[in-house]
Structures are given as C-alpha cells and as structure tokens.
Structure 1
C-alpha cells in the first residue's frame, strides 16, 4: 500500500528500504592478471586503474555514452606514453575490462534476508554490461530493482540517482538505508536524509540490518 505520492507509509522499522551499491560490496574483482601484466610492462601496480577510472575516461562509460571497447581504447591512449608499444597498452586495458569477478556470498545472504522484510534496490555506477554480469553471478533475482548509471544517465554521487533508487523502492529517501564503499556517495546519501553506511566489510552490513530482525 502506498500514499498519494506513491510511497509506502512509515513503519516502526528504522528504515523501509535498502539501497545497496554493487561493486566492492556485492561484487569483487580479481586484479592478479592485470597486476602481473603491469609488472611485466614496468608499471607500478594500479597504474591502469588510475588511468581507467579518471573521470574523463570512465565518466562517458558510466553514463552509457561509450561502449566498453571504446573505454579500452581510451585507457590504451592514456597508457601510450607509459609503455613501450600500443599492443601493451591495449592488453592492459583489456585485462582490466575482463578481470574475473565473484559475488560475496555473505553479503548476498544478508541482502536476501533483508529483502524478506523490505524492498531492496541495487544502485550502481556501472556499464551496460551490468545485467549480464549479474546473470553470470546468478543474481538476477537478488533485488526488487536495479538502478544502473549507464541505463539512467546519472552517476553517483549525483543525488538524483539516489532519489531514483528510493522511488524505485517506493519509499521516501529518509526512509532508506544506503550502503556504499565510496565516502562521497555515502555523504550524498546522508545529505538526502538517508541512513548512510560506509561499507568496508560484511560486518558493517550485518550490523546495520540487525534492527530489521530484532
């Protein structure tokens, strides 16, 4: 049941929906192969990510304005002056794109349990490949909805994507628990009145969800 604004009425719970980030919370990447390539190329570990995740490089990707292969091309261009040849630059960008990933089973179990009590919406700065990645992890049924930056044209910490997540859950922002590993995103959620949690480990999520089952 919702009110005239489309929101569920307030309950006795501390929050009425969970908005949760995906990467570095639900999903984790293995960078071992990329780091081995960086060492072989004489680069410090993390150099490729520094280039790839600069706002001017990954911003268009997360807004759905370029493809993943165009992102790799931008990474290779950014690495060109740091490596011996173009092939190496492309190999590094491709290794980042194709980094293997896995779901954190403990986090998934906590979120599935939470969803038995309140709506769960995943809010992610992601590429257009997110849906396929969730399917690969067997998580297409994890949440009630998924708000992907590449699909909606908004990137965290823009408060509008957080408000959209709350709307998809059918509750007001101040009735949401927001979980994210990036401080800027957590701060943006707190500014909207959300119960905002800086995620570092599963225990952080478990602690915040505990009142749902008290």
Structure 2
C-alpha cells in the first residue's frame, strides 16, 4: 500500500489566476502581463532563484526597482509593487481540496515537490487553502535540486520518511514523471486537457482517483 503521495504544485494542485494578477498590476504598471512575465523569467535566469525568503524579498525589491526605473515610475508605485502578494493569485483546481481531505483521512503522508522558482512555496499553499493537508513541501531552489534530478525526489522522500516503492507521484510534465519512475516511484502524468483518465497508462485528467489508487 501507498505510504506517501507526492504532488507537483503548478498544473496538479494549483493554477495561477492571470485575471486577478492582470487587474491588480494594470492599475500600477503600463506593461502587459505577458511582457512582464517574460521580464520576470529573464530576471530570474540572470540573477538566479532565491534560496530563502529573505533572498526572495530582495529579489522582488531589485526586480521592481529596475522595472520602475525603466518606465519612469515613482517610488510610491514601486513600493506598491513590492507589497503585491502573488500568492493571492494561486488557486486550487476544483477537486483538489476534496481529494486532499480524503487522503488526510488515510494513513498516508502528503508531500509537494515543485520546481517553482521562488522560496515561498509553503506560503502559496497556505494562500490556496491547502497547507493544512501537506506534511512536507519542497521547492527546488530551497533544497538545491530540481526535478528530474534524483536528488529532488530523494530529498522529499527522506523528509517524509518513506521509500520510493511506497510512494505515488503525480506531475504534469512527462520528464518529471520519468524522473520519479527512475528512482522507483509509481508515477502518474497529469493531463487536464484529456476528456477522461487512462489509469492503465498512468495518466490522470484530475486528482479524483487518488484516494482509491493508494490502496487504503
């Protein structure tokens, strides 16, 4: 039987509500959201992902300073941008809370393993109302390893206190699913665009089968 369920965040547990972000940021900055996102990713690639919350705060301070200087925006706007909490845009998929609540009643531990480029993974899960169900949350820049590297999976398993053969893993990227299988996990690919599940092929369209897949 499964002793731990390990899940990716983006595309599996949650999505980023672009409309909420666009409405808030459009009031402050004359730059389309897609262009701003491109700048953010380029900034992260150049400066590196923050490995803790203090570095993340500095990361955003410097990013918004550069954007505001480029656009000639006043300090008051920069301060509002720095104060913007992106976690308000992190939303759980419709079935997720109910599925995690069902798993919480089983003798299984729940972990989150994300390649998310910020250190505030736990805060985002809290904002989405999911933190109460999560035993361990590991963000790649914090643990120093990203999927599909074996070290990423081994770290979350060690913190959960389980062996690979006792784990069920779900991710929406095939390469990350393959990485989980390579270390001995039973792994499923999430494809939310499918009309239905293909359990024989280890493909899910949402998380609803999970409580039954654990064998409890």
Shorter-chain TM-score bucket reads 0.5 to 0.7
For residues 61-100 of structure 1, the aligned pairs below 5 Å read: 61=50, 63-64=51-52, 67-73=55-61, 75-76=63-64, 84-85=71-72, 97=86, 100=89
Q: Which runs of 5+ in 1 are unaligned?
A: 1-12
Q: Is the 8 A contact 1:35 1:46 kept in 2?
A: no
Residue of structure 2 equivalent to 1:162? 153
- The worse-fitting range, judged by mean Cα deviation, of 125-134 and 160-169 is 125-134
Give the drift of 1:99.
5.2
Is residue 189 from structure 1 mapped to residue 177 from structure 2 by the alignment? no
TM-score (norm 1): 0.68
Aligned CA distance change for structure 1 residues 65 and 128 (closer, same or farther; 3 Å): closer
> Structure 2: where are the runs of 5+ without partners?
193-203
Structure 1 pair 130/208, CA: closer, same or farther in 2 (3 Å)? closer
Q: 1:74 to 1:189 in 2, by over 3 A?
A: farther
| TM-score (norm. length: structure 2) | 0.67
* Correspondence 1:51 to 2:42: no
Paired residues of 2:148 and 2:176 also in contact (CA < 8 A): yes
Contact 2:95–2:208 (8 Å) recurs in 1 = no
Partner of 1:60: 49
Q: 65-74 or 89-98, which moves further after superposition?
A: 89-98
Partner of 1:122: 112
Q: Report how many aligned residue pairs link the two structures.
A: 198
| Residues 1:197 and 1:211: Cα distance change in structure 2 (over 3 Å) | closer
Question: 1:65 Cα deviation (Å)?
Answer: 8.3
Is the Cα contact below 8 Å between 1:18 and 1:177 reproduced in 2?
yes
SS of aligned partner of 2:5:
strand
Equivalent position SS for 1:157? coil
- Measured in 2, the distance between the counterparts of 1:33 and 1:110 equals 25
Give the Cα–Cα distance (whole angstroms) in 2 for the partners of residues 209 and 57 of structure 1: 41
CA distance in 2, matches of 1:183, 1:203: 14
Give 4+ residue runs of structure 1 displaced > 4 Å after superposition: 73-81, 89-96
- The RMSD of aligned alpha carbons is 3.7
